[in-house]
Structure 1
C-alpha cells in the first residue's frame, strides 16, 4: 500500500470565501441593522397565570352556588297547628313513640300547670262508663 501524505496531495478549495475586511466591520454593520427600540416581550407564564386565575375564579363560583342557593331559600318554621294535625292523622304514631323521642328538657318545656278542681275530676269519672279502661292506662 502506498503511503498517504497530506501535504503533498492537492487540496480541494471551498467554494465559499469571505470578502476582505468582513469581520473587521461586522459588528458595526450588525448594530446598524438592529432596531432602535427593543420589542415588548410577553412571557408565556403571564398567559398561564391569567388562565389559572380564570380557572380558580370559575371553581370558586361553582362551589359557592349550592351555598348561596341554600342561604337564599326562605326557611319556614313549622307552626304548631300543622305539626299537631300531622301527628294526629298519622295512624302509625302513638303516644309511646312521642314519649320515647322527647328528652327531659323538652318535657320540662311542655309542662303546663292546669288547676283542676277535685269536683271536676269526680264529675268526669262519674259520667264516664269506661272507668276500667282509664285505670288500666
Structure 2
C-alpha cells in the first residue's frame, strides 16, 4: 500500500469563498446589529404562570364534564311512564313490587288512596272474578 502524506498531496478547493477583508471588522458589525435590535423579552416566570393557569382550566373542565352529564340525566320519572314500564315488564309481578316497598311508601299510599263504599261495591259487583279479588 502506498503511503499517504497529507502535506504532499495536491489540495482540492472547496468552492466556498469569503469576501476579501470580511473577517477584519466582523465582530464590530455583529455588535452593531445586536445593539440596534430590540428583542422582546418574555420572562420565564410569566410563561410558567400562564401555563399553570391553562393547566388548571383544563383540569376544571375535565372534572366538570361528568357532573354536567349526571345533572342532565337525573330527571324524575312521571307516574305514567313508570306505570307503562311496569305494565309491560312480564317478569315483575305484584309480589316483587310489594317486597320492595318500605313503610314510608306504604304510608304514602294509604294517605293518597281513599276508597268510598259505593266505589268498592261497584268494583266487586262488576268483577266476574270476585273470589280471586277477595283472596288477594
TM-score (norm 2): 0.51
Q: 1:123 to 1:135 in 2, by over 3 A?
A: closer
Match of 2:89 in 1: 90
Match of 1:80 in 2: 79
User: Aligned residue pairs: how many?
Assistant: 96
Q: 1:40 to 1:80 in 2, by over 3 A?
A: closer
TM-score (norm 1): 0.50
Match of 1:45 in 2: 45
Question: Deviation per CA, 1:25-56, whole angstroms, max 9, x where unpaired?
Answer: xxxxxxxxxx9xxx997543332222222222
In structure 1, runs of 5+ residues without a counterpart are 1-34
Give 1 or 2 for the bigger CA radius of gyration: 1
Bigger drift between 115-124 and 95-104 goes to 115-124
**Runs of 4+, deviation exceeding 6 Å:** none
Question: Deviation per CA, 1:46-97, whole angstroms, max 9, x where unpaired?
Answer: 32222222222222222223323444x3754322122112212211111111
Match of 1:10 in 2: none
* Structure 1 residue 123: Cα displacement: 4.2
Q: 1:122 to 1:134 in 2, by over 3 A?
A: closer
* Structure 1 residue 124: Cα displacement: 5.8
In structure 2, runs of 5+ residues without a counterpart are 1-34
